[in-house]
């Protein structure tokens, strides 16, 4: 059964305002100069993207980037000792578990402690690179900085200040994408705080119909937290932002730029005809350490040591 929100949207209620952008791929062809097609026989690489452009204002001041905040411990020296484990390492390990060996952090200027800590990624047996964010108008702009490096790749998106389970979540998303060839696959988690999340309406086949960012009231129960997508969405994102910036340059809007959510761009992709699917983790857990209460919870849960693995959070 379709949700009330989707029925309202389908029947003409646009009050949610996630679809009033100026891009529609059905009416405007993709600029060929920006798109380099993969050879038919190529298997695209899978590259992780970790946007790290936030300023952590809700938990400031901090003596380091929040992506390096120590959460729990890891075993060293054959398990006979432990060392602190930074929060973004959990995401890197989940990417690695899915067979992803290459990833880019996209940084705000000044967050040099992140590349200083992880270096080239050899400490995790990964290949890591670092890019600088450009326009400070939200995650979509941050992600688009990676466009020249990932335009022909499968992208795996995760947020480096967030903890989630199951550990093999990206494996499930990649498997679904390979089977269905969806343009985007979202990893969905149950939440009781919809006002803080991108809520998702989907049908029994897993097809996503609607994404609503941080609704004050909703009947939807699942939020999206991670994603994988094909080059079709990378190109859509790139062109969508170009359209917005072109409109600003023509003085079509006089208001100050508002931060754009990546969920809004995915919704625009759905409207334009891209296929977006959901992989639901019914028993999944998602914890954003960017709020004081969640940071306390993460530190407390991860402080319990297991003699075999060094860490045993209560899920």
Q: What is the pLDDT of residues 117-144, one digit of tens each?
A: 999 999 999 999 999 998 889 999 999 9
Of the pLDDT bands very low, low, confident and very high (cuts 50, 70, 90), residue 5 is low
Mean pLDDT of the chain: 85
How far is residue 290's CA from residue 54's CA, in Å, rounded to a whole number?
A: 10
**What pLDDT, on the 0 to 100 scale, is given for residue 158?**
98
How many angstroms separate the CA atoms of 15 and 32, rounded? 34
Spatial distance between the Cα atoms of 79 and 69, rounded to a whole number of angstroms: 22
What pLDDT was estimated at residue 77? 67
Identify the CATH homologous superfamily for domain 4-19+44-243+255-301: Spore Coat Polysaccharide Biosynthesis Protein SpsA; Chain A (3.90.550.10)
The Cα 87–Cα 163 span in angstroms is 7
Torsion sign across C-alpha atoms 289, 290, 294, 299: positive
The 10s digit of each residue's pLDDT in 186-245 is 999 999 999 999 999 999 999 999 999 999 999 999 999 999 999 999 999 999 999 998
> Is residue 98 within 8 Å of residue 42, measured between CB atoms?
no
Question: Contact at 8 Å (CB) between 217 and 311?
Answer: no
50 — pLDDT class (breaks 50, 70, 90): very high
Query: Residue 163 and residue 60: Cα distance in Å, rounded?
Result: 19
């Amino acid at each position: 059964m379709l949700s009330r929100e989707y029925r309202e949207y389908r029947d003409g209620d646009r009050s949610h305002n996630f679809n009033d952008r100026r891009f529609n791929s059905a009416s405007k062809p993709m600029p060929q100069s920006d798109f380099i097609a993969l050879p038919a026989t190529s298997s695209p690489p899978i590259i992780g993207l970790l946007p790290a452009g936030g300023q952590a204002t809700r938990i400031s001041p901090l003596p380091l980037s929040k992506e390096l905040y120590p959460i729990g411990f890891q075993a060293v020296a054959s398990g006979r000792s432990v060392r602190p484990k930074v929060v973004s390492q959990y995401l890197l390990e989940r990417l690695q578990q899915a067979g992803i060996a290459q990833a880019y952090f996209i940084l705000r200027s000044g967050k040099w402690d992140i590349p200083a800590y992880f270096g080239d990624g050899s400490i995790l047996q990964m290949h890591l690179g670092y890019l600088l964010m450009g326009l400070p108008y939200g995650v979509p702009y941050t992600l688009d900085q990676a466009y020249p490096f990932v335009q022909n790749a499968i992208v795996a998106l995760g947020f480096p200040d967030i903890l989630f389970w199951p550990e093999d979540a990206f494996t499930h998303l990649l498997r679904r994408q390979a089977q269905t060839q969806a343009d985007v696959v979202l990893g969905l988690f149950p939440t009781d705080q919809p006002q803080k999340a991108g809520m998702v309406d989907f049908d029994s086949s897993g097809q996503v119909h609607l994404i609503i960012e941080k609704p004050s009231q909703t009947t939807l129960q699942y939020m999206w937290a991670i994603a994988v997508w094909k080059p079709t969405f990378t190109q859509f994102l790139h062109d969508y932002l170009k359209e917005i910036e072109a409109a600003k340059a023509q003085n079509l809007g006089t208001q100050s730029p508002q931060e754009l959510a990546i969920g809004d761009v995915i919704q625009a992709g759905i409207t334009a005809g891209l296929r977006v699917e959901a992989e639901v983790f019914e028993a999944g857990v998602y914890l954003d350490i960017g709020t004081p209460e969640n940071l306390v919870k993460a530190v407390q849960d991860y402080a319990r040591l297991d003699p075999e693995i060094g860490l045993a959070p209560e899920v």
